[in-house]
Structure 1
């Protein structure tokens, strides 16, 4: 009887990194006492801009559901939600 070497499950072998992984662009994080926000600094003590994050907005969508043959369409009803991301 032959013993096979263990392998990761099939689907797990297909996964790859989506973005290259590298060291962070900052060395330290401190709290700014005035603005109460994080301040990221590099090795030289210079402030590093970390960019902005998006804000999610959820909106409802409506559709008209029809009745049976020969009947008028039913009133619009909210039947789904869409999440949209926008930059600040």
Structure 2
């Protein structure tokens, strides 16, 4: 009787790295005491600007329905709203 080697679950076998991993663009991280923010510096001690995360904006999408088969058309009304987020 043959014994099968254990395998990862099928979905985990599909996972791949999304971006190549490289060295970080900074050499050290310290805390700025006055602003309580992280300060990233390179090997020469110069501050390195890191990406800004923004605040996100909500752009709702609304389903519309209305009107009917009556004598007079009815105005469209918003049935629901689904938030759609976009970065600043």
TM-score, scaled relative to structure 1: 0.72
Which residue of the partner structure matches residue 63 of structure 1?
Answer: 63
Structure-1 residue corresponding to 2:51: 51
Matched length: 87
1:86 and 2:80 correspond: no
The runs of 5 or more residues in structure 1 that have no matched partner are none
| Equivalent runs, 1:29-44 vs 2, <5 Å | 29-44=29-44
Give 5+ residue unaligned stretches, structure 2.
none
Could you say what the CA RMSD is over the residues aligned between the two structures, in angstroms? Answer: 2.4
Shift of the 36–78 alpha-carbon distance from structure 1 to 2, 3 Å rule, reads: farther
Q: Compute the displacement of 1:44 (Å).
A: 2.5
Q: Give the match's secondary structure for 2:60.
A: strand
TM-score when normalising by structure 2: 0.72
Matches within 5 A, 1:16-27: 16-27=16-27
